Structure 1
Amino acid sequence: MPVSMYEVSVPVFISMLTAMSHVLKKAQASAKERGLEESVLVEARHAPDMLPLKNQVYIATDMAKGCASRLAGRDVPSYQDVEATFPDLLARIQKTLDYLATFEPDDMKGSEDRDITLKIGGNDMTFPGRAYVLGFVHPNFYFHVTTCYSILRANGVKLGKADYFGQG
């Protein structure tokens, strides 16, 4: 039986965003234990030309809600990108998880071959649904989830591989 577009999107996003929430909760506790202002971790970045932790959360949640919406032919909800604390970021993830829970497998039937057009760098880019999910969304989504984890790890938050999967 072929894998559905729903199976390769919504459950994957739910699993990894739940794990991202777990990692952020551990970071919040770490900041408190170490007497750090939360903003030190929320604004942390790997390099001066990289986006800070909060933006990694913005982009991961945007990828998830955007992908599910486009595959189902729905309008993509807009978030303001103003979250600047761990509670704010956790609320954004939860809002995205709640939104993802509104999708059913039938919502995405036939989307594997439907064209998805995005504006990237001012240019239209069109992908068939399958290529959009597997070749564009997944790499971007995992990059930002992993970067969130690695920024926190590099800043002294005690995280292990199991935490990346929400099990630590």
Structure 2
Amino acid sequence: MPISLHAAFVPSCRQIIGGCLQVLAKAEAAGACDPAEARLAPDMYPLGFQVKQVAMHSAGAIAAVRVGQFSPGGAPLEASYAAFAAALREADEALASVSEAEMEGFIGGTTLFVFGERKMPFKSEDFLLSFSQPNFYFHASMVYAILRNAGVALGKMDYMGRPRMAL
């Protein structure tokens, strides 16, 4: 039996968002870094940008498929652990409300990525699986890497969140 678009996208996003929430909570408790300044390298975006992209490339990607267009940008998140966690909880709640039937209805639709003059047309399922999903994982791993690099005691299981085990 083929896997549904919902099963390929939503549960894994929710799992990793849970991991990001755990990583942020550990960082806040450790007081290891200033959330406004934390970044992996001088030429990389800061922690708040990475967190925002996790939300944008999960719940934001589904919202974009609904309207047929995704444009990055918008206001940055307030540079605080509370604001970062709120953005991720909001994304998780939005993902929890997406039904399998709605996701299957996206298949064959179109979603246009627009960034300035750049326009990239996608089939909606390809936008989710070949554009947003890799971006989602990249930015989630950067949240982990920034905080691990700042000295927060983190391990891979912190990043992974709660796996979906057969019990």
With the length of structure 2 as denominator, give the TM-score of the two structures: 0.86
**Is the deviation greater in 135-144 or in 7-16?**
7-16
Indicate the percent of aligned positions where both proteins have the same amino acid. 32
SS where residue 106 of structure 2 aligns? coil
User: Of the candidates 42, 50, 67, which is equivalent to residue 56 of structure 1?
Assistant: 50
Q: Could you tell me how far apart the structure 2 residues matched to 1:74 and 1:135 are?
A: 16
Q: Structure 2 CA distance, aligned partners of 1:133 and 1:96?
A: 15
- SS of the equivalent of 2:8 reads coil
Q: CA deviation at 1:114?
A: 1.4
Give aligned pairs, total.
160
The alpha carbon displacement at 1:74 in A equals 8.2
Report the RMSD for the aligned CA atoms in angstroms: 2.2
- Distance across 1 between alignment mates of 2:69 and 2:59: 10
Matched, 1:70 2:64: yes
The 1:126/1:117 distance shift into structure 2, 3 A limit, reads same
Runs of 4 or more consecutive aligned structure 1 residues displaced over 4 Å after TM superposition: 72-76
Q: Cα 1:115–1:75, aligned 2, differ >3 Å: closer, same or farther? A: closer
Question: Is the 8 Å Cα contact of residues 112 and 122 (structure 2) preserved in structure 1?
Answer: yes
Q: 1:79 to 1:103 in 2, by over 3 A?
A: farther
Partner of 2:95: 100
With 52-61 and 4-13 compared, the bigger mean Cα shift is at 4-13
Structure 1 gap segments, 5+ residues each:
none
Q: TM-score, normalised by structure 1?
A: 0.85
Gaps of 5+ in 2: 163-167
Q: Is the 8 A contact 2:68 2:111 kept in 1?
A: no
* CA displacement at 1:81 relative to structure 2: 2.5
Deviation at 1:66, TM superposition (A): 2.0
> Superposition pairs for residues 11-160 of structure 1, below 5 Å?
11-31=11-31, 40-73=34-67, 80-160=75-155
